[in-house]
Structure 1
Amino acid sequence: MAKHGAAAALLVASLLVAAALAAGTDARRPLNARLAINRGASRVFAVHEEAVAAVPTLSCSKVHGVQAGETCFTVAQAEGLTQDVFLSFNPNINCQSVFVGQWVCLAATSA
């Protein structure tokens, strides 16, 4: 099953790249698209959405090194942040596997 999941993820990624190229967009720019997956069939397609607003680039102004026993939730709670705000400051974090010494952003400003 894991092989099928990896193959599906690769297929979806290649379809998104193909959709970006077909739309004439810059491959370095994030593609604003949504996936439509028909689970009963073998069709997957991306719908390009130019109207979606670009996410502003954030510059982290306060960091924290994760300590033993801390989770995303406890770090956010200790700083007085909601989970959504914390995750917006740390968009690439995997809260299932934070580790001691990992740097997380606690405050950010638009760059």
Structure 2
Amino acid sequence: MSNAILVIFPYLYQGTWVFDDERVGLVREPFVSGIPEMINKLVQDIPDANQGFKLLFSQTPFPGYQIEMIWLRDEYGGNWYRWRAQNLEGWLCPALFKYFNQAPQKIYCKAEKLSR
């Protein structure tokens, strides 16, 4: 992808954080293995985040980012990242490669409420 900042719109589906992205062929792609806990922290101040929120992410810092996730290791085709400030680790599945050619050393994220 050529965009510096990417965006997806996660929401809670049957108790699991998921997202759809028709551009890359993903429907109800789940977040698993530590990532839901990160999302819960990230959206705790966003009203009705479980109905959906905007998640901006990039491999380079951008104004207002809230999380710096640092690459740890690869496993099962996916990659483990650490959110040092919250002492959390999470695994991003191979869908990561629909957005990046290789696993970034760092991923910066920001959550925003949807404008309805």
TM-score using structure 2 length: 0.26
- Greater relative contact order, per chain length (Cα 8 Å cut-off, separation 6+): 2
Task: Choose 1 or 2 for highest CA Rg.
Answer: 1
TM-score using structure 1 length: 0.27
Structure whose residues are more often helix by fraction: 1
